[in-house]
């Protein structure tokens, strides 16, 4: 029951990717990034994000007051999904220039916020008495906002790396000064 709730959006994403594959295949890099994120999500869903052993190890090593695996997953959401989202904007919507860099970050923020709201609705509808445990806030009233923030930071890093790579490729393709 909990496993299904945790994975319904991930399963939906995989179904959409399979459905659009023939008409709109993504790059190998996008599929790799999506796979890494879905693997992180599967680990979090298996253990429950606030109880992932890697998170406890990090907590112990750094002397933190909580298991931060959920923050790692949210950061990874932005870091790993901004590139496929940018690819979608470039190829499907054909955005260019500033918008090709801005829209993926904005999209990650929107998706992250949507997920946080959806997660709170599910907690209220399915199990109000277990809401905090399901949400994995670990006593942090600002958990949703912090999760969204780290997702945007991850997306920003990816987009900055993409921008730097684009500039580097452009410079290398220019003729040498004579």
Task: Give the integer Cα–Cα distance in Å for 17 and 37.
Answer: 14
- Domain assignment of residue 146, yes or no: yes
- Domain assignment of residue 130, yes or no: yes
79-135 pLDDT tens trace: 999 999 999 999 999 999 999 999 999 999 999 999 888 888 877 777 666 655 555
30-67 pLDDT tens trace: 999 999 999 999 999 888 888 899 999 999 999 988 88
What integer pLDDT is reported at residue 72 of this predicted model? 94
Domain that holds residue 89: 2-165
The residues near 151 (Cβ < 8 Å, ≥ 6 apart) are 74, 75, 77, 78, 108, 109, 112
- Domain assignment of residue 176, yes or no: no
Mean pLDDT of the chain: 88
Structural domain total, the chain: 1
């Amino acid at each position: 029951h909990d496993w299904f709730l945790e994975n319904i959006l991930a399963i939906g994403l995989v179904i959409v990717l399979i459905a659009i594959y023939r008409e709109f295949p993504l790059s190998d890099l996008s599929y790799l990034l999506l796979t890494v994120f879905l693997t992180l999500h599967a680990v979090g869903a298996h253990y429950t994000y606030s109880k992932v052993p890697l998170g406890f190890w990090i907590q112990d090593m750094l002397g933190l007051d909580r298991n931060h695996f959920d923050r790692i997953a949210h950061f990874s959401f932005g870091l790993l999904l901004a590139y496929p989202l940018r690819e979608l904007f470039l190829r499907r919507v054909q955005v260019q220039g500033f918008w090709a860099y801005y829209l993926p970050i904005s999209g990650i923020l929107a998706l992250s916020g949507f997920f946080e709201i959806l997660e709170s609705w599910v907690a209220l509808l399915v199990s109000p008495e277990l809401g905090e445990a399901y949400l994995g806030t670990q006593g942090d009233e600002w958990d949703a906002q912090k999760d969204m923030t780290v997702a945007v930071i991850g997306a920003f890093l990816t987009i900055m790396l993409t921008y730097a790579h684009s500039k580097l490729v452009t410079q290398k393709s220019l003729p040498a000064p004579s």
